Amino acid sequence: MTILNILHYPDQRLRTKAVPVTDFGPELEQFGADLLETMYAAPGIGLAATQVDVHQRIIAVDVSENHDDPHVLVNPVLTLHGELQETEEGCLSVPGIYEPVRRAERITVAARTPAGDEISFEADGLLAVCIQHECDHLEGKLFVDYLSSLKRSRIRKKLQKQQKQRA
Ligand code: NI
């Protein structure tokens, strides 16, 4: 297992649009395992390949308490259902910031596994929120984009200050 380096906002690489995966198999399965391991170590409940500077359409999520419900979704396509509901979100690329975001309450997910098998399932609650958040990353979009520009600029300044202090 390898713990991968997570990019932090406002790193412009987080704005890259990911391309569809075409090569499935052992190498992708290894990357999926590394993505999950990196997410658990952070610790977090979701991580997109974009966040570790790999610009292919792969996300890892596990919203269980005991790390026993891992999903690695490749080329995910979402269908949104139901009303919008507001949930407080955070992001491993925006450390220490939590803000409410409105998203669809239920989704249908079509994707492939890293081995290339087609899967489809429905999700609601935190899992639905998390998958929508991670799929945004693949488009180069961050949860702070849903906030006011004033709030976003405050967050950017705060994180840039923290990054300078660490450097
Ligand atoms: Ni995120």
CATH number at residue 95: 3.90.45.10
10-residue block means of pLDDT along the chain (167 residues)?
A: 95 98 98 98 98 98 96 98 96 97 98 98 98 98 97 96 89
Structural domain includes residue 30? yes
Q: In this predicted structure, what is the pLDDT of residue 6?
A: 98
Neighbours of ion ligand 1 (CB under 5 A): 91
Tokens of 145: 């984009």
Describe the strand order of the beta sheet including 99-112 as a list of residue ranges. 46-48, 58-61, 71-89, 99-112, 118-124
Cα 8 to ligand 1 centre (Å): 10
Name beta bridge partners: 124. Answer: 106
pTM over 0.95: yes
Q: In this predicted structure, what is the pLDDT of residue 167?
A: 83
Q: What is the DSSP string of 26-84?
A: HHHHHHHHHHHHHHHHTT-SEEEGGGGT--BSEEEE--STTS---EEEEEEEEEEEEEE
Cα 133 to ligand 1 centre (Å): 6
Cα 151 to ligand 1 centre (Å): 17
Structural domain includes residue 2? no
Question: For the chain, what is the domain count?
Answer: 1
Q: Of 83, 118, 122, 134, which is the active-site residue?
A: 134
Q: Structural domain of residue 113, as residue ranges?
A: 12-166
Cis check: omega of the bond before 10, within 30 degrees of 0: yes
Cα 142 to ligand 1 centre (Å): 7
Q: What is the DSSP string of 108-161?
A: EEEEE-TT--EEEEEEEHHHHHHHHHHHHHHTT--GGGGS-HHHHHHHHHHHHH
Cis check: omega of the bond before 43, within 30 degrees of 0: yes
Cβ(32)–Cβ(114) under 8 Å? yes
Q: In this predicted structure, what is the pLDDT of residue 111?
A: 98
Q: In this predicted structure, what is the pLDDT of residue 158?
A: 95
Cα 24 to ligand 1 centre (Å): 24
Q: In this predicted structure, what is the pLDDT of residue 1?
A: 80
Distance CA 89, CA 140 (A): 17
Give yes or no: 134 in active site: yes
Structural domain includes residue 129? yes
Structural domain includes residue 6? no
Structural domain includes residue 3? no
